[in-house]
Structure 1
Amino acid sequence: MQNILITGGSGLIGNSITKLLVHKGKEVAWLSRNPDKQEQKSFYWDPEKDILDQESLYWADGIIHLAGAGVADKRWTDSRKKEILDSRVKSSLLLFQELQKIKDKPKAFISSSAVGYYGIDTGEKLVFEGDPPGKDFLASVVKEWETATEKIQDLKIRTVLLRIGIVLSKDGGALPEILKPPVAAPLGDGKQYMSWIHIEDLSRMFVHALENPGLSGIYNAVGPVPVTNRGLTKKAAHFKGKPFIGVGVPGFALKIILGEMAEMVIGGNRVSSEKMEGTGFRYLYSDLNQALKQIFK
């Protein structure tokens, strides 16, 4: 597969995957609402208006689908919740609808999903791909998103869904947020699990899924060693050279600041990476110390 089309290419994960694919000698193009403004080769689409330049699908040997409004970017008002759901479901259905129309289809479709599928707080239980979905807002979003994406399989295109955990990177994601206050502190009691993955390993996982014809279906995209919120915050503060206090930010204070979204940071998931490791994927950063050392070097 030489030509790879990416949706959500300008985001944190999309940028990282683009660099990796280009480094491997692949041609990369993005689907974008503003193709003229991108430095990366781009084709036009607008899922809100049901528009997609079909030329992009003829061009692509494989598709990586990352598009979706940021879950933690804004407070969860009703309109924001609708945007979070629609941006994922509509974009997946648009791709399905347009792929139906073309004869020479791409060989593989690799889509992001999220560990939020299992529910906002699954406690200490280790969760696997076959476990049932949660009943909260995020779980229902992921369920609908996966249902829309899985339609691609009906077109005889090999489809992989990667349920992404907490992405560690200095350029975005959870780490800059955790370390934003002058003093780092756990959230709530700090005992909730965070199933983290280094951005490089996540990008390599998408490319692994793209290049290995044996992979299809759902895989957890997390590192092999989940840690508690307290453990992660303490170590991140250490590597960043920031003071850490062991007293957690109380749940009620988080609810005042974040509204309903607070449930997401007070809860957590301990997610298994066993299925992905069984495909021969090897981590560069399986150890949190190693990952943070690289990020803050």
Structure 2
Amino acid sequence: MNIVIAGGTGFVGKAVADAFAARGDQVYVLTRRPQPDRPGVTFIEWLAEGSHPERALASTPVDAVINVAGEPINKGRWTKRKKEAILTSRIRSVQQLIRMVDRLDKKPDVFVSASAVGYYGHARDTTLTERSSPLGNSFLSRVCEKWEEEAVKMEGLGVRTVIARIGVVLGKGGALSKMVLPYRFFVGGTLGAGEQWISWIHIRDFIGLIRFIIEKEAISGPVNFTAPRPVRMEELGRAIGSVLIRPHWLRVPEWLLKLVLGEMSSFLLEGQRVVPETALENGFAFTFQRIEDALRDVLQDGGPQAFR
């Protein structure tokens, strides 16, 4: 297959690109800063003045477009400027992809566009699914709402569109690298009360689910990219300590996180109990359903981030 990935140089995007290339697919990564091509991966400039990625793809029958581009939400305080960047970077990326696809003679079969479990807002202990759970009422909820509204416009070009509502992706890098750092220095512990839910997914299952969706033509609309068993923050912390053989003892109070991080602290202190109803009903088999197994694979074994 010929796969186009926007945002293919970040933690998640690079893992996806490398996994498809390892399977023998040809990957085209859209990026502001093109790198030297490598086997199976070609870099194409986009979002820069005068860039026309559709010209580089003119002779390529694109099978799928994957969008994981956007300003990171877990870096820096959520100032007014940062919040604007979080939203506008996502909207602009989708708009540019729709413009690119509109100019292609052959349209891709499927468009998989990232969103986040933040769509559901802060729901305490409610179990959240794609079909029955409403939009939340938080900053991230509103970002996801506008992000998804823009993405589904791709359907107007006759392209099957899937919205990936992504939880915390566990792999070598990303949010997990920050979570484990205190444990490596023997000061790991719970953030806040520890009762907040964390909906997570192993990077290998993330990649596998994208592949599954591309090949499963019956799937469209929102899909939760989370493991079947979300955990509370306290359980996650204890599991990290157990895998790394480090103590789990130092609790970081909510007031301190709010003081240091401002509004971004809500990203850590409020959670969602999200389950992947659509993936399970369509027969996707998760390799990692228990948090201990996922952490052991990433932190101890460091298994290959590739398809099963």
Q: 1:36 to 1:264 in 2, by over 3 A?
A: closer
- Following superposition, the deviation at residue 33 of structure 1 comes to 1.1
Task: Tell me the equivalent position of 2:304.
Answer: none
Separation (CA, whole Å) in 1 of partners of 2:149 and 2:72? 20
Separation (CA, whole Å) in 1 of partners of 2:189 and 2:176? 13
Quote the sequence identity (%): 34
Which of 261, 266, 288 is the matching residue for 1:285?
288
Separation (CA, whole Å) in 2 of partners of 1:174 and 1:234? 17
The amino acid that maps onto 1:81 is: K
User: What do the CA deviations read for 1:149-178 (whole angstroms, capped 9, x no partner)?
Assistant: 010011110111110001111x22222212
Task: Tell me the equivalent position of 1:112.
Answer: 114
**TM-score with structure 2 setting the length:** 0.91
Moved over 4 A (4+): 36-39
Task: Tell me the equivalent position of 1:152.
Answer: 154
Q: Please show how residues 18-29 of structure 1 align to structure 2 within 5 Å.
A: 18-29=17-28
- Following superposition, the deviation at residue 56 of structure 1 comes to 4.3
| 1:264 corresponds to 2:263 | no
Q: Please show how residues 41-120 of structure 1 align to structure 2 within 5 Å.
A: 41-46=42-47, 49=49, 51-58=51-58, 59=60, 60-119=62-121
Separation (CA, whole Å) in 1 of partners of 2:50 and 2:222? 27
Of 121-130 and 98-107, deviating more is 98-107
Separation (CA, whole Å) in 1 of partners of 2:16 and 2:255? 38
- Following superposition, the deviation at residue 143 of structure 1 comes to 0.6
Q: 1:252 to 1:20 in 2, by over 3 A?
A: same
Q: Tell me if structure 2 keeps the 8 A contact 1:50–1:94.
A: no
The amino acid that maps onto 2:130 is: E
User: What do the CA deviations read for 1:158-201 (whole angstroms, capped 9, x no partner)?
Assistant: 111110001111x2222221222231111110000001111110
Task: Tell me the equivalent position of 2:125.
Answer: 124
The amino acid that maps onto 2:263 is: E
Q: 1:52 to 1:147 in 2, by over 3 A?
A: farther
**TM-score with structure 1 setting the length:** 0.94
Which of 201, 204, 215 is the matching residue for 1:200?
204
User: What do the CA deviations read for 1:8-34 (whole angstroms, capped 9, x no partner)?
Assistant: 111111111112211221011100112
Structure 2: gaps (5+ residues): 301-308
Which of 260, 264, 277 is the matching residue for 1:274?
277
Separation (CA, whole Å) in 2 of partners of 1:102 and 1:168? 35
The amino acid that maps onto 1:54 is: E
Structure 1: gaps (5+ residues): none
- Following superposition, the deviation at residue 103 of structure 1 comes to 2.8
- Following superposition, the deviation at residue 50 of structure 1 comes to 8.3
Query: What root-mean-square deviation, in Å, do the aligned CA atoms of Structure 1 and Structure 2 show?
Result: 1.6
Separation (CA, whole Å) in 2 of partners of 1:156 and 1:207? 20
The amino acid that maps onto 1:211 is: E
Separation (CA, whole Å) in 2 of partners of 1:207 and 1:73? 29
| 1:243 corresponds to 2:247 | yes
Count of residue pairs the alignment pairs up: 292
